Chain A
Amino acid sequence: MRVLTNNPLTKQKLANWQGGTVAYHDVPLIGILTSARDQIHLGYRLCTHPLSGSVKPNETPYKSIALSDAPEKALCTDSLMLIEHSIAVCQHLAANPRPVTDGMLKDFQLVDYTLILSALEGTSDWHPGIDPFSDASHPADTTHLSPSC
């Protein structure tokens, strides 16, 4: 898989990822979508949803999308429909000028990164080569909790 991203955290965290490659572009979110679209037009397949996450594309500046490694002969219609719909949605949401602080940018990066991570982790060819939360412990699941807490 190839991850297209404008999220510096995704780039940094996946630097040693062995399951695929990461292409980092310093462009606005919509630029990641159009770049993915152009590749889909050439036969690449989408592996993750372009509108991942409930943080709307007019709120977060970051997007990471996974595409297939190599173009296929036939264009993937499902990928095409998804990316075109996603771009359309993106374009009609109100452009809200928002006060973005450094802390918020970090949070947006973290959320986008965890969304793409949740997709990559679930795949059978997930070869980490990385500790996804090297500066934090892994998100705790709740199954280990004792009933007394």
Chain B
Amino acid sequence: MRLELGYVPISDIQLGEKSLVDGTTLFVNAEEVKALILKDERIASVQVDVARPGESVRITPVKDVIEPRVKVEGPGGIFPGVMAPVDTVGSGRTHVLKGAAVVTTGKIVGFQEGILDMSGVGAEYTPFSKTCNLVLVIDPKEDVKPHEHEHAVREAGLKTAVYLGELARHVTPETVEVFETMSLLEGQQKYPDLPRVGYVQMLQSQGLLHDTYVYGVDAKRILPTIMSPTEVMDGAIISGNCVSACDKNPTYVHQNNPIVHDLFARHGKDLNFAAMIITNENVYLADKIRSSDWTAKLCEFLSLDGVIISEEGFGNPDTDLMMNCRKITDKGIKTVVITDEYAGQDGASQSLADAHVSADALVTGGNANQVVTLPPMDRVIGTDAYVGIIAGGWDQNKHADGSIDVELQAITGATSEVGFAHLSAR
């Protein structure tokens, strides 16, 4: 499969009369966006706002972050099975509004989390302080249940991203990057001397507010399967995950999966990026055993020499990570795992809920329990009424000057377990 990503750089978002890309400015007609979202009968109201890098703005509670893209050539559309008909994506050409993102916010459950500061200390920890964000503050009608509410907000974000992505359809990209994967046989013939490397991505799949969708299918219902890594660039995987702000993968991170990109960067030079395998992180232990068996089996069938395994979430998935690592290692395949840590506020406790000696090459996204003090912001988009009760926040965490103490786990994307951020720990 061959996919061209055409990057249309965006350095500012302005609300305006007509939605269009002008130079590197993305103009958005807020009324059109609202009308699009309000088609959903479950939604009572929506506000459209803009947050730019460096501004004294806090967005919270953040639900999802999505990058606007449009399919200009090749089969399927962005977010297949959800926003577009089911069709295999990942080939042809896709345009990307690089530097822009849609951020959804809205209280779905009472303990929701996700802080995104556009400046100050918090901005150093979240990758989305560097994007121009179109923020949607969404309120549901009164009788809408949490799972319906989550669904409505998830779709509102995707719809908006598709709407914005469409604006890039006829814009000439500033740069084009090409990603090409080959069939196993072709790859082996072309790179007979390079190690065959695979990427195993574990997807959050535990239940309400903890779900991920693959071509529209709930990931807890899948068996591990093989994907072309370019499929994720067209939105084949989307996030329905609202909990654990620091280490969940927003849809944006799936679209820009950094492991996929960094493996492609070495593809054909130091390694042969042979395949991507997705698996899940179910609550039921028999599912874990089955999924890790299948993952290891697929790695073996693909004759992989090395595998990177990424995790998503806290606690339960540590067990999947160790099972995958142990079983893949047992097949004689070299592994590197990526996780993050919950070592307590003092960093002195055991970091993971599970451990195995085979995980001897581990990359960490840092200790999510570390406390940081976030300065007050001039403006809050969404509501900070919950900052005291979100994960990692606690009672009386607000100081007299308006600054707040939170654990890193409250900050969107701070301890990414796909290695999207630079934080680590020793």
Chain A: residues with CB nearer than 8 A to chain B? Answer: 46-49, 51-57, 59-60, 66, 78, 81-82, 85-86, 88-89, 92-94, 96-101, 103-104, 106-108, 110-111, 114-120, 122-123, 133, 136-137, 139-143, 145, 147, 149
Q: Is B286 an interface residue (CB 8 A)?
A: yes
Known A-B contacts A104-B110, A110-B146, A147-B84; A123 and B394 likewise in contact (beta carbons under 8 Å): no
* Cross-chain pairs A/B with CB under 8 angstroms, 19 sampled: A48-B283, A52-B315, A54-B210, A54-B241, A54-B313, A56-B315, A56-B391, A57-B315, A82-B285, A89-B342, A92-B343, A93-B344, A98-B394, A107-B146, A108-B111, A118-B208, A118-B283, A142-B151, A147-B84
Complex contact B81–A51 (CB within 8 A): no
Closest to B396 in A: A97
Q: Is the interface of B mostly helix, strand, loop or mixed?
A: loop
Other 14 A-B pairs with CB < 8 A, given A46-B285, A47-B284, A89-B349: A52-B316, A54-B244, A56-B391, A56-B409, A78-B285, A89-B350, A89-B353, A97-B394, A99-B395, A114-B147, A119-B284, A133-B145, A141-B216, A149-B40
The answer to whether residues A119 and B111 also contact, given A56-B314, A139-B208 and a CB cut-off of 8 A, is: no
Ordered nearest first, which 7 A-B pairs have the shortest CB separation? Answer: A51-B315, A104-B110, A96-B394, A54-B244, A92-B349, A118-B207, A114-B208
Interface size (B, Cβ < 8 Å)? 66
B207 touches A85 (CB 8 A): no
Task: Report whether A104 and B111 are in contact in the complex, using a CB–CB cutoff of 8 Å.
Answer: yes
B206→A107 contact, CB < 8 A: no
Residue B39, interface by CB 8 Å: yes
The number of inter-chain residue pairs (CB within 8 angstroms) is 187
- A110 to B409 Cα, complex, angstroms: 22
Does B210 lie within 8 Å of A119, measured CB to CB?
Answer: no
* Residue from A52, A55, A103 in contact with B283 in the complex, judged by beta carbons closer than 8 Å: A52
The one of B110, B210, B221 that contacts A107, using a Cβ cutoff of 8 Å: B110
